[in-house]
Structures are given as structure tokens and as C-alpha cells.
Structure 1
């Protein structure tokens, strides 16, 4: 896969890439020879879809599933809690006081 140097593709199995630096909305990224314009800011370390991901499909990072898409995620779109759910931790408790106490 040809990839923008501001992105990191951790495994050939992954359907996401990782931002090596914070990227501003409107930034144009190259993923496998196609240009994508970011609709929203993406912080360093956050994920971006490198292909279309359908609802219910596993999101793969490091070649392993980290969650499931809850809506269609377009190539070049930020992948985070707003469009995936963890297969391991209920999203509604991440960052909650109850989760912090555990």
C-alpha cells in the first residue's frame, strides 16, 4: 500500500492507518494512490479508515480486531468512539468515573 508519510499502516491486514501527527480538517492525504480530504481534525495516534468499513465489520489494527463499526466508515474518515464500538469494553463506560475507579 502506498501511504502518506504522515500515516502509519501497522499491518497489511489492517483496515485503518494511524496518524503520526495531528492533522487538520481540510488536509489532503494519499492512501493507496487516492487522495482524501479530512472532514475533521484527527489527533496524533488516532485511526483513519484506509478503505470502506461497513456496519458490523471488524476494525483491524495490528492485524487484530479492536472493535466493530456501528455505521459505514468511508475511506479517509476518522475512526473513533463515534463510529465504532469496542468488542471488549462497553463504550459508555470508557472515561466514566466508575471505570476510573476500577
Structure 2
């Protein structure tokens, strides 16, 4: 009977190797790529959330305006919050798979491979 195949052993990098990698150009570029997406998107979503909260707090008459049937602007804004959360997540996954994961995998391979 054949023995099951074992996964390739990965080398455990030393603390010094991790410190050196943190200052390497490829790691700095990875951090920059990550931040170029996450910071602007986080700020945009936070501002959108604050618009929702402040509008609900300071313009309740506007939020109570009917859109159709018993659905009002507040309900539409609330649903839009959920929708934008899922859309941002989907956009981030696409962005990360294209721009972040290949760079992270290359660094991981260099460190552990």
C-alpha cells in the first residue's frame, strides 16, 4: 500500500528575516497597495455612514418621506448601507485577488519556500 503524500515542508523564518522583510521594497509595495485601497474606501464608507446617521438624526422629516407604499427614504438609506457593505466587500475581494494576494504569495514563498 502506498503511503499518503505529505505536503511540502515549509521553512520557519527567523525573527531577523521577518524584520528584514518588513523593510524590503516588495513588502513596502505590498503595504502601499493595500493602503491605497483600504484607506480611501474606509473613509468613503464612514462618511456615507455618517451621512445616514446625521440625516436620520437631524432631518427626520426627510427620512420619513414615502418612496412607495410604506417604504420611506430612511428604509431605502438603511438598505443602501447593507448593499454598499456587500459591494465594498466584493470590490475588495476582486482587488485583493488581483493586486495583493500575488504579492503576498511571492513574499510568503520567499520567506518559507
TM-score, structure 1 length as denominator? 0.22
Question: Between Structure 1 and Structure 2, whose CA radius of gyration is higher?
Answer: 2
TM-score, structure 2 length as denominator? 0.21
More helix by percentage: 2
Q: Which has the higher contact order (CA 8 A, sep 6+)?
A: 2
